[in-house]
Chains A and B, each alone.
Chain A
Amino acid sequence: MIVAEQKPIAEIAGFIADRDKVLLVGCAGCVSICLTGGEKETGILATALRIKRRMEGRPLKTATCTVTRQCEPEYIGTIADMVKEADAVISLACGVGTQFLAERYPGKHVVPAMNTKFAGGSKAPGIWEEYCGLCGDCVLSLTGGICPVIRCAKSILNGPCGGSQYGKCELSRDVDCAWQLIYDRLATLGRLDTLKNVLPPKDWSRSRNGGPRKMIREDVMTGSNQNAAD
C-alpha cells in the first residue's frame, strides 16, 4: 500500500486560512488501511479544524465525504456537487489522490492533508515500513526476496557495506541491515553462491530518473481513452 501520514494540523489550517467553507475528502484505499486518511480520520480532522478556527474567532464550515479510491476518476466524479459548494478541498489521500482531485476539479483550490511517505506494509499494529522502491526493474529474484534498492540506506546492489554490524544498518540500531537479511535468507535457501556474482550498474531510466512513468495496456483501452495514452 501507499503509506501516508497526516501533516500537522497548523500546516493544514494554514492552507485554508482565507477560506470559510471546506470539503474534506477521505480515501477508503491505502490511507484508510494505514489509519490516517479514511472516513474516521476525515471526521476527526474536520472537527479539529473547526475547533481551531472557532478558538481564533473565525468559524469554519466543513463538509466531509470519503470516496472508494481517490486515484480513480470514476469515484471522484461522484462528489462534484459537494466540491461545487466548497471554497476549497482538503484531500486526505496520498499525493496521487490529491492530484487526481485537483485535475478533476481544476477551478477548485485542492490542498493536501497528508505527507505521502512510501510503498510499504504493516509490520505490526501501529508500525508501517517501506518495502518497495518502485524502481521499475525488480531485483528480488536475485536477493532472496528482500529489496536492497530501498531497504539498504545506500541502495547497494553488492552489499553489505562496511557499516553493517550486529545485523543492523550504520544509520541506527533500529534499522535492520537489508544485506544481512539477504545473506541470512540466501543461506537458509542454500543459495549463497548467487552472491558471488557482481550485479551490474542498475538501469535507473526505468525508475523516476527517466521522467514521469506511464503504463499502457492497449488490451484494456476503450475508444474514449485511446487519446490519453498518447
Chain B
Amino acid sequence: MSSISTGVHIIREGVEPVIQMTCRDRNRIAIQSDLLGAYSLGIRNILCLSGDHQFFGNHPTSKNVYDVDSIQLINLVRRMKDEKLFFSGELIKDYEPKFFVGAVANPFADPFEYRVDRLEKKINAGAEFIQTQSIFDMERFARFMELCVKRGLHERAFILAGVTPLKSWRAARYLQTSVPGMIVPDDIIRRLKDAEDPPKEGLIICNEQIKFIKEHIKGVSGFHIVAISWPEAVPVIIQRSGLRRD
C-alpha cells in the first residue's frame, strides 16, 4: 500500500504519521503531485530517501526512475516551504506545503568516513530530522555520533536512532548476511540462539540498546523503533524504556 494512503489511515486513528517518499518509483512530476495531495490530506512529515533497489522486492523486472536523488528531493521539498517554489522553480501562489522534512542516514554503510559528510550534505539541503539505519553495532554508532556532535549536526537536525527488536536468531542472521548496509554483531545472534524465549530476549536486547544510547551517546534526540513485521513490540518497548513524547 502506498505510504501516503497508509498515512491517511493513521491520521484517522488519531496518530501523526511520517510518510516516506522514495526516488525509485516516481519522477519529479509524480513526486510533487503526490506530495501536494499528501499535504492536502493532512500529512505533515515526510522522509525523503533513495529507496531500496527494486531487485530486492517482488518486482525485480520493473524499471526504476531516479529522476532526482534523495538529497535533491530534500532540497526541492524544503524549497516549497521556504521559497514557495514548485520543483520546476515556478512560484506557488498560495497554500505552499510546509512539510517537516526528514532524511535517512546509515552509519553502517561505507565509506564510513564520508557518512557524516553526507549527513551534513542532507542537512545543508534542508533535512530537519534524521532517521538512522537500525543500530546493532553500538561502537560504530557511537563513533558516528561523536563526529556528528563535533560538527554540531545534532543541533541543526533531530537525529532519531533506529532500533529493531529481533524475534529470532534467524531474523538476526538474515539482517547480518542479506540486507546491505547492516552490521549485526555475532553476540546478538548468539544471545537469541541461546535464549529460551527468543522474542522475549529480542525485546530485552532492544531495550538495552535504547538504554545504552540514552545514557552514553550524545546528540540523539529520539528513537525510531523499526519493528519489522512485529508492530506489537512497539508499545511494549516504549513502556519498558520509559520513552515519552517531549
Contact = CB atoms under 8 A, between A and B. Distances in A.
Interface string B110-138: 11001001100100110000000100000
B180 A165 contact: yes
A163 interface: yes
B64 A154 contact: yes
A159 B71 CA distance: 9
A195 B72 contact: no
B185 interface: no
Given A157-B69, A160-B114, A171 B53 contact: yes
B75 A198 contact: yes
A201 B181 contact: no
Nearest to A204: B67
Interface residues of B, number: 36
B55 A171 contact: yes
B4 interface: no
A201 B72 contact: yes
A171 B66 CA distance: 16
Contact of A154 (B53, B72, B133): B53
Given A180-B110, A201-B76, A162 B104 contact: yes
A183 B111 CA distance: 8
A163 B114 contact: no
A202 B70 CA distance: 13
A198 B124 contact: yes
A67 to B, nearest CB: 34
Contacts of B24: 154
Mostly helix, strand, loop or mixed at chain A's interface?
A: loop
A162 B133 contact: yes
A64 interface: no
B125 A198 contact: yes
B195 interface: no
A202 B66 CA distance: 10
A166 B183 CA distance: 11
A170 B51 CA distance: 11
Given A156-B69, A158-B72, A166-B110, 18 more contacts: A154-B51, A155-B69, A157-B69, A157-B72, A160-B111, A160-B118, A161-B70, A164-B110, A165-B109, A165-B181, A170-B56, A183-B114, A196-B117, A198-B71, A198-B121, A198-B125, A201-B28, A201-B87
30 contacts: A156-B50, A156-B69, A157-B69, A158-B71, A158-B72, A158-B118, A159-B69, A160-B110, A160-B111, A160-B118, A162-B106, A162-B133, A162-B181, A163-B52, A163-B180, A164-B180, A164-B181, A165-B180, A167-B110, A170-B56, A170-B180, A177-B110, A195-B114, A195-B117, A198-B72, A198-B121, A198-B125, A201-B72, A201-B76, A201-B87
